[in-house]
């Protein structure tokens, strides 16, 4: 290849732009031109697009000597991107290369945002290359001519693959890839991914589980950017609170840093925190008004685009944001990144740090702002994780029956499918490689007869079987399906707009329910007065003079990742032996000494339990440092196990470091632990079912499943077609299916998702096993220790009870009447 005329052509063009091919780009080019598939591991802003796009064009020139005049008809290349917002930039870059090399190709976009004019044009003739989202590619498969559309595709690239793995959109992508591979067995498949802990698996997922992996490669871009982590330290440790997660006390120091650089991104962990930080800075430093902004997922798309553009043009001094700016195009003026509060995962921290320092060879620097004193331990843990480059894995979904049910109907709406063929096809995906024939038949029944078998017949109408072909004939069924496809289930949220009509974003109904017209709240970085609520729209007006409350959005806080929690346990133990190694630990020393005085700092082979008697009852604190998700399940299980020895009811609270069991009587833990193994994992599933309200959790999970599998029809967007006769809440559907159909796969999936994602059963098991091997240290304390104090003040109460429903109700009634 090196000496071919095409290569020279390419070099000329690159030289005209004063670009040079980097090593990983050359390597990718060679692998692609050798016909290989694979995964390119390269960060944003490294030239990853061209690493694949240029060889695609070279290959085209190679095989079409008259490429300047003759262009093959039909779609050749599919480029999947998870973000609609990225499509425009991609298109521009890709088109530039085509034009530069004088290839008369068109690069088209197919996302939810596409205009109907473009859609019609594409219907007439597909561009040679199409940038598309996973949802939109599924929509193309719902067309009657999908084979025609896809038959000439020889290469597919999945951009930001790490973002898709671990979500149901990743499953959608796997399914589409499996189908494209069947249409063209020689399909070249490439993924582009940032660094994650399971790159090998990411590649296998992309290429299919039974596809030969011999002809595939992983190429790593060596340009590992240097990353510096600096903690913003308080002058005195006393000025940081023991608990809390806002962190505005370090505001002045943060502003000092903002002043020193061109543009700064301030990452927070929740949307509310973003609003609060923006408000706090503007209030204390009004000079930033007009040259600063905030950015989060609930702001209107238009507002966000404005912020993004202003960032590009260097019109902003700083932007306070959430993970909404983790991804996407790079903002060249961004010099500094500040993380407020623990990011809870090393990968997320690294990703955010990467938003700064884009010049080749530049060092990325990220400032960490602790929001409470214990987060100083997280600071050193994060730094260690970054140095050792230990990044979290993204775990793919398995057996998502909801997505498969949707896919089957999608294909039936399109050209139809033969069941054995499709069965073989989907078993080549990682997600469904373990599906069994019985489950498959249940799904076939679900979409054809609405029951667990194919034999029942009533008036159920959805997919029909004609000469072995599963098809949808009913036009209304087809239309409803097309309109409700996708895997992202939007919350029932209300749009917020000004009287004049400008939209600000969206807000949750539960928040507005607490307000009366005339009340003032803070949203999108300004205070507004609530005027009225009509047709799912909240109308507001500006109210500059008064301060308001800040809205809360669901799904707020994230849980500590397993990698980070391991570091934290070790760093804490290490602090006993090496208190002066790092500035953060030195700063924290007074607090650590207090912990040691009142209780103990657990060594790495110890599990610390504190017992504390107070007015409200007897507290037990246990500190596994495994993150709040794992603690939630673990607390319920241990409470349950204690209650099998002595009848007792607990209130439960947890945070990322530990959990608390509160009861009205003293528990003699030493004695109990001689009678029962609290950390046993032999009957874990059984104990989970007895202790956690799994049904209630599954019901909540079912909302998404019901929507994806087509049980809930959201209605026609923007149209007032009456659908109320067909609307049922997902909780009602759950209840009916749970009660009357024992083997319903979708219900089973809901419970499985609770185990996998809500309780993280696997991690729970590992943690319990570890604790079982550790030395138990029980400390009776008379004043709360620095570790237990946050649990005392920051409780999320949940009650564990083994009583029957009826007596529970009676108790609640008593409590209720006392309260009035």
Partner 1 sequence: MEIEIAGHHFVLLPQKAVFWKEQKTLLIGDLHLGKITHFRKAGIAIPSVAQHYNFATLDTLVMTSNAERIIFLGDLFHHHYNSEWDSFALWRKKYPALKMVVVLGNHDILPMSLFNECNMCVEDHLVENGFLFTHHPLDVIDSTIFVFCGHIHPVFCLRSAIKQSIKLPCFVKDEQQMVLPSFGVFTGGYEMNAQVGRQIYVIAEDKVIRV
Question: Which residues would be at the binding site for partner 1 (CB under 8 A)?
Answer: 446-447, 450-451, 456, 458-462, 474, 476-477, 480, 651, 710-711, 713, 725-726, 728-729, 732-733, 736-737, 739-741, 744, 796-799, 805-806, 808-813, 815-817, 819-820
CB of 713 to partner 1, least distance (A): 7
> At closest approach, how far in Å is the CB of 632 from partner 1?
13
Q: In the sheet where 469-471 sits, what is the strand order?
A: 417-418, 469-471, 464-466
- Strand ranges in 328-473 using DSSP code E only, listed in sequence order: 334-340, 364-369, 417-418, 464-466, 469-471
- Give the nearer residue to partner 1 in terms of CB position, either 38 or 710: 710
Cα–Cα dist 101/78, whole Å: 20
Shortest Å, Cβ 220 to partner 1: 47
Both structure tokens of 145? 């001519």
Would you say 190 or 659 has its CB closer to partner 1? Answer: 659
Question: How far is residue 14 from each of residues 27, 100, 107, 170, 454, measured CA to CA in Å?
Answer: 17, 9, 20, 34, 60
| DSSP of 717-752 | TT-----GGG---HHHHHHHHHHH-TT-HHHHHHHH
Nearer to partner 1, 291 or 736 (CB): 736
Query: Considering beta carbons, is residue 319 or 447 the nearer one to partner 1?
Result: 447
Cβ at position 634, least distance to partner 1 in Å: 19
User: Could you give the CA distance from residue 740 to residue 449 in angstroms, rounded to a whole number?
Assistant: 16
* Tokens of residue 808, six digits: 């529970």
Question: What is the token pair recorded at 404?
Answer: 């498969």
C-beta closer to partner 1: residue 11 or 614:
614
Nearer to partner 1, 377 or 447 (CB): 447
Structure tokens at 275: 């609003």
Side-chain-side CA neighbours of residue 191 (13 Å): 30
In angstroms, give the least distance from the CB of 508 to partner 1. 17
Q: How far is the CB of 33 from partner 1 (least distance, A)?
A: 48
* Closer of 281 and 447 to partner 1 (Cβ): 447
Name, in order, each residue with C-beta under 8 angstroms of 285's C-beta and a sequence gap of 6 or more.
255
The whole-angstrom separation of Cα 322 and Cα 296 is 5
H/E run at residue 772: helix 761-773
Q: Which is nearer to partner 1, 7 or 713 (CB)?
A: 713
CB of 457 to partner 1, least distance (A): 10
Q: Which residues contact 437 (CB under 8 A, 6 or more apart)?
A: 423
Q: Please, what's the b/e burial string for 681-696 (b: 16 or more CB within 10 A of its CB; e: otherwise)? A: beebeebbebbbebee
What 8-state DSSP symbol labels residue 758?
A: I
SS3 (DSSP) at 517:
coil
User: Closest approach of Cβ 818 to partner 1, in Å?
Assistant: 9
The contacts of residue 593 (CB under 8 Å, 6+ apart) are none
Query: Are residues 576 and 647 in contact, defined by beta-carbon separation less than 8 angstroms?
Result: no
Residue 21 in tokens:
């091919």
Which residue, 674 or 817, is less far from partner 1 as judged by CB?
817
Minimum Å gap between C-beta 704 and partner 1 is: 16
Report the C-alpha gap between 563 and 546 in whole angstroms: 44
Nearest distance from C-beta of residue 593 to partner 1, angstroms: 35
362/732 with CB nearer partner 1:
732
Query: Least distance (Å) from partner 1 to the CB of residue 755?
Result: 22
**Packing angle, helices 562-577 and 583-598, rounded to 10:** 80
Distance CA 404, CA 408 (A): 6
Rounded Cα distance between 253 and 206, Å, is: 45
User: What phi, psi does 253 have (nearest 5°)?
Assistant: -70, -35
Tell the smallest beta-carbon distance from residue 484 to partner 1 (Å).
11
CB closer to partner 1, 336 vs 651: 651
User: Is-contact 601 571, C-beta < 8 A?
Assistant: no
CA dihedral angle for residue 510, residue 515, residue 517, residue 522, rounded to 10 degrees: -90
CB 339 within 8 A of CB 371: no
Least distance in angstroms from the C-beta of 707 to partner 1: 12
| Choice between 500 and 815, CB closer to partner 1 | 815
E strand map for 301-444: 318-321, 334-340, 364-369, 417-418
Q: Which is nearer to partner 1, 385 or 445 (CB)?
A: 445
Choice between 124 and 797, CB closer to partner 1:
797
Nearer to partner 1 among residue 500 and residue 805 (C-beta) = 805
The owner of tokens 């032996």 is 577
Residue among 11 and 732 whose Cβ is closer to partner 1: 732
Q: Which is nearer to partner 1, 456 or 793 (CB)?
A: 456
- Tell me the backbone φ, ψ of residue 515, rounded to 5 degrees: -100, 155
Q: How far apart are CB 198 and partner 1 at their closest, in Å?
A: 36
Asked if 688 contacts 694 with a C-beta cutoff of 8 angstroms, the reply is yes
Q: How far is CA 527 from CA 52, 319, 401, 503, 611, in A?
A: 47, 18, 44, 15, 45
> Cβ 663 to partner 1, closest distance in Å?
12
Pick the closer one to partner 1 by CB: 15 or 809.
Answer: 809
d(CA 319, CA 328): 15
Question: Is the distance from CB of 453 to CB of 441 less than 8 angstroms?
Answer: yes
Minimum distance between the CB of residue 797 and partner 1, rounded to whole angstroms? 4
- At its nearest, how many Å lie between partner 1 and the CB of residue 746? 9
Smallest gap from Cβ 203 to partner 1, in A, equals: 37
> What's the rounded Cα separation, in Å, for the pair 351 and 374?
23
Which residue's structure tokens are 């023991």? 242
Question: Following CA atoms 132, 134, 135, 139 in sequence, which dihedral angle do they give, to the nearest 10 degrees?
Answer: 70
Backbone angles phi, psi at 617, to 5 degrees: 145, -165
């Amino acid at each position: 290849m090196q000496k071919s005329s095409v290569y020279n052509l390419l070099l000329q063009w690159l030289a005209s732009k004063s670009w040079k091919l980097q090593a990983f780009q050359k390597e990718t080019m060679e692998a692609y031109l050798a016909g290989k598939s694979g995964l390119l591991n390269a960060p944003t802003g490294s030239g990853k697009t061209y690493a694949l796009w240029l060889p695609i064009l070279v290959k085209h020139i190679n095989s079409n000597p008259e490429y300047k005049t003759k262009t093959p008809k039909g779609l050749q290349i599919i480029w999947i991107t998870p973000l609609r917002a990225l499509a425009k930039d991609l298109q521009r870059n890709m088109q530039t290369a085509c034009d530069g090399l004088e290839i008369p190709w068109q690069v088209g976009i197919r996302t939810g945002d596409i205009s109907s004019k473009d859609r019609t044009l594409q219907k007439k003739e597909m561009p040679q290359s199409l940038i598309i989202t996973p949802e939109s590619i599924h929509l193309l498969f719902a067309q009657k001519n999908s084979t025609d559309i896809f038959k000439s595709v020889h290469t597919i690239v999945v951009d930001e693959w790490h973002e898709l793995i671990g979500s149901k959109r990743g499953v959608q992508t796997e399914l589409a890839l499996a189908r494209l591979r069947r249409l063209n067995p020689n399909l070249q498949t490439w993924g582009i991914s940032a660094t994650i802990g399971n790159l090998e698996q990411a590649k296998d997922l992309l290429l299919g589980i039974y596809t030969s992996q011999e002809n595939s490669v992983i190429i790593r871009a060596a340009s590992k950017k240097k990353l510096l982590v600096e903690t913003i330290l308080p002058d005195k440790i006393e000025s940081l609170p023991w608990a809390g997660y806002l962190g505005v006390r370090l505001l002045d120091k943060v502003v000092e840093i903002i002043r020193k650089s061109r543009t700064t991104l301030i990452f927070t962990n929740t949307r509310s925190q973003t609003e609060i930080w923006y408000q706090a800075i503007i209030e204390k430093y009004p000079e930033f008004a007009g040259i600063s902004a905030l950015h989060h997922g609930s702001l209107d798309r238009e507002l966000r685009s404005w912020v993004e553009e202003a960032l590009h043009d260097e019109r902003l001094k700083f932007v306070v944001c959430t993970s909404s700016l983790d991804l996407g195009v790079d903002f060249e003026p961004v010099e500094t990144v500040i993380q407020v509060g623990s990011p809870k995962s090393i990968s997320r921290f690294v990703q955010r740090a990467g938003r700064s320092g884009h010049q080749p060879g530049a060092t990325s620097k990220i400032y960490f702002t602790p929001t409470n004193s214990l987060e100083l331990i997280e600071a050193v843990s994060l730094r260690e994780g970054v140095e050792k480059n230990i990044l979290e894995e993204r775990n793919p979904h398995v057996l998502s029956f909801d997505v498969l049910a949707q896919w089957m109907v999608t294909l039936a709406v399109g050209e139809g499918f033969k069941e054995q063929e499709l069965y073989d096809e989907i078993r080549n995906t990682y997600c469904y490689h373990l599906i069994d024939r019985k489950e498959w038949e249940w799904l076939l029944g679900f979409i054809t007869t609405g029951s667990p078998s194919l034999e029942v017949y009533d008036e159920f109408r959805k997919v029909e079987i004609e000469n072995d072909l599963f098809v949808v004939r009913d036009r209304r069924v087809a239309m409803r399906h097309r309109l409700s496809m996708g895997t992202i289930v939007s919350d029932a949220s209300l749009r917020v707009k000004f009287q004049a009509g400008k939209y600000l974003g969206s807000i949750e109904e539960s928040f507005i329910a607490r307000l009366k017209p005339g009340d003032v709240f803070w949203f999108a970085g300004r205070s507004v007065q609530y005027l009225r609520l009509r047709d799912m729209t909240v109308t507001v007006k500006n109210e500059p003079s008064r301060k308001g409350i800040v809205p809360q959005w669901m799904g707020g806080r994230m849980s500590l990742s397993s990698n980070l929690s391991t570091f934290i346990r070790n760093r804490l133990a290490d602090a006993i032996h090496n208190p002066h190694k790092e500035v953060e630990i030195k700063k924290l020393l007074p607090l650590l000494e207090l912990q040691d005085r009142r209780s103990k700092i657990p060594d790495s082979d110890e599990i610390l339990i504190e017992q504390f008697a107070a007015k409200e009852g007897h507290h037990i604190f246990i500190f596994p440092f495994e993150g709040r998700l794992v603690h939630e399940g673990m607390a319920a299980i241990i409470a349950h196990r204690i209650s099998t020895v002595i009848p007792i009811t607990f209130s439960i609270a947890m945070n990322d470091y530990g959990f608390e069991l509160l009861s009205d009587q003293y528990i003699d833990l030493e004695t109990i632990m001689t009678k029962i193994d609290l950390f046993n994992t032999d009957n874990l599933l059984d104990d989970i079912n007895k202790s956690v309200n799994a049904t209630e959790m599954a019901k909540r999970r079912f909302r998404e499943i019901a929507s994806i599998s087509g049980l809930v029809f959201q209605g026609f967007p923007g149209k007032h077609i009456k659908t109320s006769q067909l609307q049922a809440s997902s909780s009602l559907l759950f209840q009916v299916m749970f009660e009357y159909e024992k083997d319903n796969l979708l219900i089973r999936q809901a419970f499985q998702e609770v185990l996998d994602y809500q309780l993280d059963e696997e991690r729970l098991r590992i943690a319990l096993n570890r604790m079982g091997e550790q030395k138990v240290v029980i400390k009776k304390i008379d004043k709360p220790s620095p570790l237990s104090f946050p649990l005392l003040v920051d409780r999320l109460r949940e009650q564990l009870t083994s009583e029957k429903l009826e007596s529970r109700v009676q108790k609640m009634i008593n409590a209720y009447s006392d309260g009035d």
